[in-house]
Structure formats: structure tokens, C-alpha cells
Amino acid sequence: MTFAEFAQYLEQLEQTSSRLTLIDILSELFKVVKADEIDKVVYLIQGRVGPFSEAVEIGMSEKLVAASIARAYDTDKEKVLKEYAKVGDLGKVASQLASHPEREKRAEGSLAVNEVFDTLTEIAKTTGAGTVEKRINLLAGLLRVSDPISAKHLARIPMGSSRLGVGDPTILDAFAQAKLGDRKKRKILETAYNRTSDLGLIGKTLWEKGEKGITSLGVMVGRPIRSQLAERLPDAKTILEKMGGEVHVQYKYDGFRVQIHKDGDKVRLFSRNLEETTSMFPDLCEGAEKQIKAKSAIFDSEALAYNPDSEEFLPFQETTKRRRKYDIDAMAKKLPLRAFVFDILYFDGKPLIDLPLVERIAYLKKALKEDDVLIPQPGEVTKSVERIEELFNESLTKGLEGLVTKRPDSKYEAGARNFNWVKLKRHSAGELHDTIDCVILGYIFGKGKRSGFGAGSLLVGVYDDKLDEFVTVSKIGTGLTDEEWKEIKVKSEKFKVQSKPARVNSLITPTVWVQPKIVIEVLADEVTKSPTHTAGLRDAQAKVKSGEKAMGYALRFPRLVKFRSDKKPEEATTVKELLEMYKDQFKKI
């Protein structure tokens, strides 16, 4: 497949706001993609040159891409940047400059997708002296022989701003439709994806080995497993009843998820959104090398920053300062991490995720040496409401968030969010029992003092996992300082789009639409019914009697708590969770 042919499909994806149409377009694309191209096509759709688990990012800044465009089309970089300031999209600038007849003639022999992918990979891996110049030349060389549509999409990929609105479930649906004949067969693919976290691998295996090959894909050291997530319930009694009278209880830590992989002498770390973070946390790697009593193993843990002087754990905002690419060693000394290891998923060549939790905990106890970097959290099993409440209060006394309770006989269900795991968190009078993870969908220009900030309020939503779409739940105008409001526009700039993104369901039109990429944690007083927000609205429309008005759900008095860069948009609070919070919000622990 030529890149020009591929770009025509990207153009169609960009122009639709219907998820079903996205699936159809992708399915038609996948039907003509060959086995040696499918993984590369998928990675390029994701704006990458490999799975998220591989720390290979193209990572070119706007200025470097502008310089490449200028070199490709024999113009001045400042002119490119000036035009970019007008249209807000370097892809469109590249397309305009590629539109001259003489340049279009040069693009008649379009490069193959594989050639473009290989060149972008070379850009990503270029290091050392002359890196900047080499990257500019390589991208300019691709742009120089690209037609206008190809140039537009090619210029966006190195910046990670493809504007396609395609989520992982949508790609899996399209795989199923194209190769298995029915998108409802996505579950087969999803199970393998949750265990391997690599859509390119899923595609290549499906193309080469079919459905049988997909079912044979299992847990591998070095490939992150998608994290299991917890539901929420309001009190210990309800949790115990839900889980059949017996639960496994562990403390809930307010840090970031770290999946620890050991293979021989090599240790790798992965975040909950599947990115490799090994280089960021040398202290955790050193602890893993010393403490893991296995040749190969995978652990699930939560990492928190620790103040050795005061012997206390620090809040999430401090912990996130460790996620950085520079001054890593200095920050490791200033804010050392402790990883609380609460599960083991693989041990000396044996996958453990299908074992009951209590059996995995037995492996956990023997797989880690006691020390103060990786701290085992075996938890305890109880049938007592009073014991759960006692542990909950102990957790709060330690400055932690609460508890995570689990079915003792449950498997580790990669990528799942269900009532096998339930969190019990602290709350205050007049507030919901828990915070809500929302996704920014747009912003509305401010008035008065905020008119100079670029954003006066945010339109935010939650995730409808049944429909794979984002639905609105609130407008937020509080919780940020003046400086942070000014930063909102900067944070969302590369995700800004001209029309409502695909997979967004909204009755409200903000001043600026933003692709659902940025996750924030929100605190609110309650969940209330709303005629203007779309969370739960489709279900309501299906249930109301003729003549009644369907009502969605919204947050009352919402305020932004913090940004959650460790979470993917699809890991935001779901509509189902929101409905449970609506039902349970007035119950007390």
C-alpha cells in the first residue's frame, strides 16, 4: 500500500463524527492492507512507530516540524510558523505548500507505507551529534515527495496530533469486522489485547495466523498487561454482601500504578497507560534487582513519593514530579519512591493471572525479599464488617485513600473494571464518596478577568464503555489558579479540532472542541439529573414513556482537583459508575 492510498483513508476518518462510520472506514482500509503492513498501519494511526510499551517516540516539536516543512518546500521557517499561527495546524500548512502543480508532480510516485514507517522510525531512533539536523532532513525528504493530503497527515504524526478520534476499541471492532466478519467478535481480540497491550501485534497475528493465533497469545514478560480496575461501593456492609460474605482487603495508595517486569538481569517498568517508565525510576529498578526472588516475574504495584526526613508519604501532586525525562537522579534523591506490591501476575515462566487471588498472594509472599523499596502488600481476608471499617480507619490515619477489597477467588482480569475489585474511599460531609475522573472535551472562552486566560470553563465528560463514546457531565469553572487557567489552552492546543470529535456525544457546543485525550480528577457535591448533559441520556431515552423528557446526569458544584497524566481517556469514570454514585451518594460509611 502506498502512503498516498493510506492518507486517503486518514482523510475520511478525520472528516467523520460517527463511531460506526469510523469502524466501516477502518474495516475497508484493513481489507486491503497486507500482513507485512498491518502492524505499521495501526501504529501510524496511533501516531507512533511501535506499541506504547516501547520507549520509541518520534517526538518532534512544532518548531522542528515547521523547519522540515520549510526545507521540503523551499520557504522560510518563520513564514511557516506565521501561517501556523493563523490556521492552528501544521498539517494544513504542509498541505497548502504541497498543493503547487510542480510539487504535486514530484509526488506521483508515492512512497510505500512501510518506507514511510521505516523513515519515521529512523527519526525516532536518531541520537547524538547532529540529531536535530538529521531529523529535519529525514522528515523534509518524506514531505517533498508527498501529495497535499499525504503531507497534511504526515506532518501531524511526529507531533502526535493526528486528530482522527480513533480509540483502541474502535480499531478492535474494525479488525473483527474486516477479518472475522462481525464486529461483535471483538471480545476474542480484546482478551488477547488486554494481555499483550499491542494492537500492532494483534493485527499481525490475526492476519498471519487467524483466530487460532489470537487465542494463543498470552502473558509475556516485557509486554505490559492492561491493569485491572476497581468499581466503587459506598460502605463495608454493601461490599461484603456484594462479594458473598468474604473479602480480601488491602490499603489503597494515592500514587501511580507501576507494573514491574523482571527477565533475568533486566528490569522494566510500565505505567497504567502502557508506557515504559524504566528510565524515570532508577530507585525502583535497583530495588527490584535486589528484592525479586525469581528469574522472571511480573508484579502490579502502586508507587508513592516518600519523605525520608519526616518519614511520611507525599500527596499525588508531589509523587507525579518523579515522572520526568531530565534531572532524574537528583529528583530520585529528593523524592525517593516506595512501590507497594499488591499482586503478582507471572512467576518463573508461569502466568498466574488465571489463578485465584489467594493463590497469587501466596506466590507474592515468596517472590519478594523484605526491604523498604518494594513493599509486599499481602492484605488479609475477612468476613467482618467491623474489621473492614477498622482497616478503613487505619488507612485514613496513615494518610491513605482508603481500601481496595477483592473477591478472594477472583482471577486477575486484565483491562476489566468489575465488582471483583471494589474501592472504598474517604469522603467529607456534603461531598460524593469519591472523586470522578473526567475527560476534557472542549473549553469555553472566559469573560471579564478570565477573558485573557484563553479558557473560562471546561466542558468535561465521562466514558460510556458500552458505546465507546465520551458523554458530557459538567462545565467546570473552579479549582485552578489564574496561571493554571492560562495553561489550559497550552495543554489542549495540540488536541484542538474544528468540529465535534468522533466518539463525543454532546448537546453543548463549546467555543473550542478538544479531542478526548486529557484526563482530570474532579470533586463534586453530588450527581444530579440534567436535561443538558448526555451521560446516561441514551439509556434514558430508550426507557422513558412517550411524551416524557429523557434526563442525563451531571455533577453539581464540580471543581478540578488535579490532572491525571497517568490515565488513558478510556480509563475515566464510566457512565455505569456515575449511575451507581447517583444511587449511593447519600449513604455513609
Question: Would you list which residues are annotated within the binding site?
Answer: 257, 272, 302, 342, 417, 423
Contact, 524 vs 431, CB < 8 A?
yes
Return the closest-CA partner of residue 68 out of 58, 56, 80, 57: 80
Backbone angles phi, psi at 247, to 5 degrees: -140, 155
Rounded Cα–Cα distance for residues 516 and 469 (Å)? 10
Nearest-5° Cα angle at 523, 306 to 417: 80
Contact, 406 vs 377, CB < 8 A?
no
Asked if 583 is an active-site residue, the reply is no
Residue in this structure with the C-alpha cell 472506514, named with its chain if needed: 25
Backbone angles phi, psi at 506, to 5 degrees: -145, 140
Catalytic annotation, pick one of 40, 152, 252, 262: 252
C-alpha cell at 48: 507512533
Binding-site residues for ATP: 257, 272, 302, 342, 417, 423
Rounded Cα–Cα distance for residues 118 and 101 (Å)? 28
Rounded Cα–Cα distance for residues 372 and 442 (Å)? 43
Question: Is the Cα torsion angle 471, 475, 479, 481 positive or negative in sign?
Answer: positive
Rounded Cα–Cα distance for residues 38 and 11 (Å)? 18
C-alpha cell at 271: 505505567
Helix boundaries (H) for 50-167: 62-72, 77-87, 90-97, 101-106, 113-125, 131-144, 148-156
Rounded Cα–Cα distance for residues 502 and 226 (Å)? 24
Helix boundaries (H) for 398-511: 482-492
Rounded Cα–Cα distance for residues 377 and 343 (Å)? 8
Residue in this structure with the C-alpha cell 429523557, named with its chain if needed: 550
For the residues of 537-577, what is the DSSP string, one character each?
Answer: HHHHHHHSPTTPPP-EEEEES-EEEEE-TTS-GGGSPBHHH
Rounded Cα–Cα distance for residues 272 and 480 (Å)? 26
Contact, 516 vs 467, CB < 8 A?
no
Residue in this structure with the C-alpha cell 459508575, named with its chain if needed: 577
Contact, 166 vs 44, CB < 8 A?
no
What are the residue numbers of the active site?
252
